[in-house]
Structure 1
Amino acid sequence: MRLFLSLTATLTLASIGLSGCQQKDAEAAIEDSEQVQVEGNPGEGLYQKHCAACHDGGNTEAPTKAAIQLNGVESIRASLSTGSMKAQASMMTPIEIRIIADYLASPSSESALANAEKHQCKGQLSLSKPIWNRWGNSKRNVRFQPAVNAGITAADAPNLKLKWAFGFPGSARARSQPAVTEEAIFTGSQSGLFYALDSQTGCVWWTFEAKAEVRNAPTISTDKNGRAKTLYFGDVDANVYAVDAKSGELIWTRSVRDHPVGTITGSITLHQGRLYVPMSSLEIINAYLPDYECCTFRGGVMALDAKSGESVWRFYTVPEPSKTTKNKAGAQNYGPSGAPVWSTPTVDAKRGLLYVGTGENYSSPASDKSDAIIALKLDSGAVEWVQQTISGDAWNAACGRNGSQVNCPKEDGPDFDFGAPPILTTLANGKDIILAGQKSGMLYGMDPDAKGKILWETRAGMGGFNGGVHWGMATDSKTLFVGIADTPGNRFATGPSRQGLHGYDPATGKALWSKFEPNVCEEKAHKCMTALSAPPTITSDVVFAGALNGILRAYSADGGEILWSTDTRREYETLNGVNARGGSIDSAGPVVAGGLLIVNSGYDKFGQIPGNVMLVYSAD
């Protein structure tokens, strides 16, 4: 059915700033396209034609329309033109993209850069050593903060109060876990603006404009005196940046994308002058489209020279995909594909190895390096060993789709990735062990001296699309702290839900204690789930963990007693004047540094609760 433009629709086109010629082109483009008729609103017609099937409930990976409408117009245009929705928007003209972005965008959203310029710090930034660095606060990804850097003890936790809140303009999620020095908090944002915020006041020292959303944690290099020197991070379009930590000036940038929808999800690991970049993609979403030729992405890791950004080596988790069959829509299928690395690589300096976890294959046939922990040689990227815990796992967004599932591989799951990075720790007896948690709900202890031999395995949760273990775990070498999400819907789940925080003996996998977190209302609503999908963070005596319902808690490291709790799912008065509210805490875990507890709240995927705020708490 054609969409006929009424006088109201014509005025809408004029109101978004199109010239006379552009307006006529837009009118013609919309009238000539076959769309549902939505009286007086061309943006709604375009949305119904191109977007509604996924965003109105057909695809659980896709944010809801309400979540999209929290974004600024620049963010939506970028997503459709060059970002994560480029393939889905490929049938739209530039004029149509502009119309739909203006239709969907928050009318009150302010440019992130304009907002930052109004809240600049006075004086000049000087930097000391990092006190929270990288995603896991160590190259071993243990997520442990020593008392000397934490500044918050079990005695302090009950007295935590909100110190300040910072709102991210035009955003529906806040998922870039920060890195911290005593003077500054460094974090990315959905708009692509990267911030250096004053750690005490939240004013803006500087900003850097990345080409796309920055959703991973920055890594900080130091100078010969141990002071913060260079920040390394990646964006959703697979660009890697080296930025001066003091000034925000670009040192170099490099694209590591070798697939149209390749991206960087996990954080970059820096070791001895090299950057190890995990490679994932958005092709799992593209596969939802029946006419999409699924799939050709190859997961892996790329090593770059930290000084220049030049490539050193590249490792792929699957061989070059070959033609297989054609789907029912006539599109060519390829395989094997996928097995992305969407978590932070772990360094084993003693053995000269890099450990990574992989996800599922996107298409048939399933391969031998999906759902696995892989050890690579640091100097060359050569495979030292592979420990695959689940074979035959191939899955993409077409699986479970209402109607024809033409791009769902024959394996159809279970989609039990290693989304959490492997942890390397040293036990009391002096022996090293690799600790791995999987979306299946299984935990593994592996021997780094015996090619990853499984020493023990334990079921911690029933498993689910968001875990089981989703984004990460933490350890102080005496206890392995595991957050379990156990979100429902995965038919391969085993046993009852065990949402909550659990402690295990890292040497044996023996359960030490559990703090179960019941849902407070209807199970399928994320706003009700005290599911721990984001990674926990630990100090010598406190565990901090945030949940999908926005609850942030401090637990005793000895038994899981709740010491403090706050509901982040509310509106906040922010120091930068942005209308902001908290939501689901997912992907980015809490950070504890210099007496501050820092957490980003809001996550708009999987039907979760959007939000756009960074919250900073202290006990003083």
Structure 2
Amino acid sequence: MSLPTFLVFLAALSACGQEPNPDAPHTEEVAALGENPAEALYQEHCAACHDSGQTEAPTKAAIRNATMQSLVETMTTGVMQQQAANMSPAEIRILADYLAIPSGVDAQANAEAHMCEDPLKLSKPLWNRWGNNRKNQRFQTLANAGLGIVDVPDLELKWAFGFPGSARARSQPAVTEDAIYIGSQSGLFYALNLESGCVHWTFQADAEVRHAPTIATGDDGRAKTLFFGDFDANLYAVSARTGKLIWKRTLKDHAAGTMTGSPTLHDGRLYVPMSSTEVINAYLPDYECCTFRGGVLAVEAKSGNTIWRYYTVEQPQPTGENSVGARRFGPSGAPVWNSPTVDDERGLIYFGTGENYSSPANDKSDAIIALDLNTGQEKWVTQTIAGDAWNGACGRFSTQVNCPEEDGPDFDFGAPPILLKLAGGKDILLAGQKSGMIYGLDPDDGGAILWERRAGMGGFNGGVHWGMATDGTALYVGIADTPGNKFATGPSRQGLHAYDPATGEPLWSRYEPNVCEENEHRCRTALSAPPTVIPGVIFAGALNGILRAYSSRDGSILWSRDTRREFETINGVEARGGSIDSAGPVVVAGHLIVNSGYDKFAQIPGNVLLVYAPARRE
């Protein structure tokens, strides 16, 4: 996944290779910064991007939603460890203290103060995995939704839960009849009561949990085990009843390896997508770019042991040196940041890939790939854009030193492909790309393209960014079309669009205009997060924080709420909503559940989980 100039913020906050000592005295270098060393450090490392208003880096206000501990971890063991190679421990601590939220709330202590009085009831999953089924359709039946089109106008906020010390709420929940299972930026994983929001248990992961967990059931059909990964590429299995660890495995085979997409569970195996932060590391001129290899692993659900591993690029080879003398390698990248789709009938899994990080670009970037479920053997590859090599050194405000000669277009398949059986009985794969193109592929003919259609102009963060949805009758496509990509085609089509899945013919479009004139995310009703569909209704959230329900018949708006505000939370944490991105709405048992707040790419930070339900009629 490409992180345009967001990396500049963290690269600016960066630089340290050793654990800071809280009691370390200021060095001569720090003293030389003057009477206000914190502001001097900020001006030297951060202000050019965060105060300019012209990059996609988070604002200083967004950074200040984080705790001091999380900022220090970001600069020492987190995403910016590579970039943080030159600051002293004292400088890191000064900068983190200056930027951190004034009074952080300890997440674990807060959870312990809001525990449920009654024990957790194990029940059957009603929304599971990223796409709610192994075909990634993001469709919810009327029975499991517990509400229909007539209930939508009566939806009101039931309760809100604040994530302490967080600037984003990104982990889409998995939900049973009784519990919401969800991760957080702090790495604390929660089991919350669906009705009240009290905490049944927590589990502390080693790093941020940012994707959707997967639930495995027992013989009685009730939740038994939860599977999820963290930002440091650890994969966990924990008890759904108690949150106790069953096993933990690191899947990292590269220093920059991470997990963006959710693991897919099928027939006793977990299929895990692998991505990386090396796209950020490439920003540094002296970084030897690049050696990460995207791919997918199959691991045993019982043990976490690896069964097979598939790479999207061969072992990168030396290709020369950059202008400052650092070695170059290639091809690299082609990460997988979507949840694999299972085709049990054909014994295959499908997934989409991102761009190459370095030249030469290979034939598996920007592609939909099919693998044998049992062996990981490659069955076919459908690449829609050749020659896409891009990394963080390519941005307007970046160094350019490690930017590949292709310089983009950075048109990943961030959204997972959808497997759908058409009315006539034929299966089709539906794929949406950041280029703004959508495709119908033939799984019986080596992924041959049956139809293609332009749905948006494309861009770094969409066209189609995180996902699409289908109810079998139509394909519902949210389009972000945020500006700034030189490879964009045509006018912006931000909004929601419906297409015939058999032919790609447009059915209707709901264009969402900006709500103010400024070129800011608070103005954009752009749909980057995936939509979710129940019979008659599509739920979708926008980058400006607006959450809406649309009619699946014609796209008319049935209900709308602005989540970009402060909320009173059931756990007493100060919380507000922001951009809705990455995680889509979840509809279960008469509840609409959504995260609000996303601090990347200069979007609107926030830290709240919102649960809506129909108001009781008198």
Separation in structure 2 between the aligned mates of residue 165 and residue 553 of structure 1, nearest angstrom: 18
- TM-superposed deviation, 1:40: 2.7
- TM-superposed deviation, 1:28: 3.9
**Could you tell me whether the CA contact under 8 Å between 1:61 and 1:285 is conserved in 2?**
no
User: Closer, same or farther in 2 for the Cα pair 1:525/1:447, shift >3 Å?
Assistant: same
SS of the residue 2:600 aligns to: coil
Farther-moved stretch of structure 1 (196-205 vs 87-96): 87-96
Q: Does residue 1:141 correspond to 2:136, yes or no?
A: yes
SS of the residue 1:148 aligns to: helix
1:319-374 CA-partner distances (Å, limit 9, x unpaired): 11111121122211111111000011100011110101000001111110000000
User: Closer, same or farther in 2 for the Cα pair 1:557/1:265, shift >3 Å?
Assistant: same
Counterpart in 2 of 1:232? 227
Separation in structure 2 between the aligned mates of residue 371 and residue 449 of structure 1, nearest angstrom: 21
- TM-superposed deviation, 1:49: 4.0
Which one of 46, 56, 60 corresponds to residue 65 of structure 1? 60
Counterpart in 2 of 1:9? none
User: Closer, same or farther in 2 for the Cα pair 1:523/1:423, shift >3 Å?
Assistant: farther
Separation in structure 1 between the aligned mates of residue 52 and residue 315 of structure 2, nearest angstrom: 34
User: Closer, same or farther in 2 for the Cα pair 1:448/1:395, shift >3 Å?
Assistant: same
**Could you tell me whether the CA contact under 8 Å between 1:109 and 1:170 is conserved in 2?**
yes
Counterpart in 1 of 2:163? 168
Separation in structure 2 between the aligned mates of residue 470 and residue 18 of structure 1, nearest angstrom: 41
1:478-501 CA-partner distances (Å, limit 9, x unpaired): 100000011111111111111110
Counterpart in 2 of 1:43? 38
User: Closer, same or farther in 2 for the Cα pair 1:142/1:481, shift >3 Å?
Assistant: same
Separation in structure 2 between the aligned mates of residue 265 and residue 389 of structure 1, nearest angstrom: 22
Counterpart in 1 of 2:149? 154
Separation in structure 2 between the aligned mates of residue 372 and residue 593 of structure 1, nearest angstrom: 33
Q: Which amino acid aligns with 2:186?
A: S
Separation in structure 2 between the aligned mates of residue 279 and residue 241 of structure 1, nearest angstrom: 15
- TM-superposed deviation, 1:61: 5.7
1:139-170 CA-partner distances (Å, limit 9, x unpaired): 00000000000012111111100000000010
SS of the residue 2:394 aligns to: coil
Separation in structure 2 between the aligned mates of residue 29 and residue 111 of structure 1, nearest angstrom: 32
- TM-superposed deviation, 1:412: 0.6
Counterpart in 1 of 2:209? 214
Q: Which amino acid aligns with 1:254?
A: R
- TM-superposed deviation, 1:94: 3.5
Which one of 239, 243, 261 corresponds to residue 238 of structure 2? 243
Q: Does residue 1:199 correspond to 2:176, yes or no?
A: no
Which one of 422, 442, 454 corresponds to residue 447 of structure 1? 442
**Could you tell me whether the CA contact under 8 Å between 1:78 and 1:212 is conserved in 2?**
no
Q: Does residue 1:470 correspond to 2:465, yes or no?
A: yes
**Could you tell me whether the CA contact under 8 Å between 1:298 and 1:338 is conserved in 2?**
yes
SS of the residue 1:398 aligns to: helix
Counterpart in 1 of 2:118? 123
**Could you tell me whether the CA contact under 8 Å between 2:283 and 2:398 is conserved in 1?**
no
SS of the residue 2:139 aligns to: coil
Separation in structure 1 between the aligned mates of residue 71 and residue 397 of structure 2, nearest angstrom: 26
Counterpart in 2 of 1:421? 416
User: Closer, same or farther in 2 for the Cα pair 1:610/1:440, shift >3 Å?
Assistant: same
Separation in structure 2 between the aligned mates of residue 236 and residue 60 of structure 1, nearest angstrom: 24
Counterpart in 2 of 1:98? 93
| 1:279-298 pair list within 5 angstroms | 279-298=274-293
| 1:586-601 pair list within 5 angstroms | 586-601=581-596
Counterpart in 2 of 1:494? 489
SS of the residue 1:515 aligns to: strand
SS of the residue 2:246 aligns to: strand
SS of the residue 1:189 aligns to: coil
Q: Which amino acid aligns with 1:501?
A: L
Q: Which amino acid aligns with 1:157?
A: V
Q: Does residue 1:554 correspond to 2:549, yes or no?
A: yes
- TM-superposed deviation, 1:171: 0.5
Which one of 565, 580, 590 corresponds to residue 585 of structure 1? 580
Counterpart in 2 of 1:372? 367
Counterpart in 2 of 1:5? none
Counterpart in 2 of 1:532? 527
Q: Does residue 1:410 correspond to 2:405, yes or no?
A: yes
Farther-moved stretch of structure 1 (165-174 vs 74-83): 74-83
SS of the residue 2:93 aligns to: helix
SS of the residue 1:535 aligns to: coil
Q: Which amino acid aligns with 1:591?
A: V
SS of the residue 1:102 aligns to: helix
- TM-superposed deviation, 1:589: 0.4
Farther-moved stretch of structure 1 (357-366 vs 285-294): 285-294
1:163-199 CA-partner distances (Å, limit 9, x unpaired): 0000001000001000001111010000110010110
**Could you tell me whether the CA contact under 8 Å between 2:21 and 2:89 is conserved in 1?**
no
User: Closer, same or farther in 2 for the Cα pair 1:605/1:485, shift >3 Å?
Assistant: same
**Could you tell me whether the CA contact under 8 Å between 1:357 and 1:372 is conserved in 2?**
yes
**Could you tell me whether the CA contact under 8 Å between 1:551 and 1:567 is conserved in 2?**
yes
- TM-superposed deviation, 1:23: 4.0
SS of the residue 2:609 aligns to: strand
User: Closer, same or farther in 2 for the Cα pair 1:58/1:409, shift >3 Å?
Assistant: farther
Q: Does residue 1:388 correspond to 2:383, yes or no?
A: yes
Counterpart in 1 of 2:301? 306
Which one of 563, 569, 573 corresponds to residue 574 of structure 1? 569
**Could you tell me whether the CA contact under 8 Å between 1:72 and 1:111 is conserved in 2?**
no
- TM-superposed deviation, 1:600: 0.2
**Could you tell me whether the CA contact under 8 Å between 1:59 and 1:397 is conserved in 2?**
no
Which one of 329, 332, 335 corresponds to residue 327 of structure 2? 332
Structure 2: gaps of 5 or more residues:
1-19
Farther-moved stretch of structure 1 (337-346 vs 81-90): 81-90
Q: TM-score, normalised by structure 1?
A: 0.94
**Could you tell me whether the CA contact under 8 Å between 1:58 and 1:401 is conserved in 2?**
no
Q: Which amino acid aligns with 1:607?
A: A
Farther-moved stretch of structure 1 (56-65 vs 288-297): 56-65
RMSD (CA atoms): 1.6
- TM-superposed deviation, 1:41: 2.9
1:517-548 CA-partner distances (Å, limit 9, x unpaired): 01122352111000000000000111000000
SS of the residue 1:606 aligns to: helix
- TM-superposed deviation, 1:63: 2.6
User: Closer, same or farther in 2 for the Cα pair 1:577/1:248, shift >3 Å?
Assistant: same
Counterpart in 2 of 1:481? 476
Separation in structure 1 between the aligned mates of residue 396 and residue 53 of structure 2, nearest angstrom: 7
Separation in structure 1 between the aligned mates of residue 505 and residue 356 of structure 2, nearest angstrom: 31
Counterpart in 2 of 1:12? none
Farther-moved stretch of structure 1 (412-421 vs 96-105): 96-105
Structure 1: gaps of 5 or more residues:
1-16
Q: Which amino acid aligns with 2:61?
A: A
User: Closer, same or farther in 2 for the Cα pair 1:358/1:530, shift >3 Å?
Assistant: same
User: Closer, same or farther in 2 for the Cα pair 1:270/1:28, shift >3 Å?
Assistant: same
User: Closer, same or farther in 2 for the Cα pair 1:403/1:515, shift >3 Å?
Assistant: closer
Which one of 60, 76, 89 corresponds to residue 71 of structure 2? 76
Q: Identity of counterpart residues, as a percentage?
A: 69
Which one of 155, 158, 183 corresponds to residue 188 of structure 1? 183
1:544-577 CA-partner distances (Å, limit 9, x unpaired): 0000000000001111110000000001111111
SS of the residue 1:554 aligns to: strand
1:351-398 CA-partner distances (Å, limit 9, x unpaired): 110101000001111110000000011111110000000000011111
Separation in structure 2 between the aligned mates of residue 18 and residue 426 of structure 1, nearest angstrom: 59
- TM-superposed deviation, 1:54: 5.2
Q: Does residue 1:542 correspond to 2:547, yes or no?
A: no
Separation in structure 2 between the aligned mates of residue 368 and residue 523 of structure 1, nearest angstrom: 39
Separation in structure 1 between the aligned mates of residue 365 and residue 572 of structure 2, nearest angstrom: 45
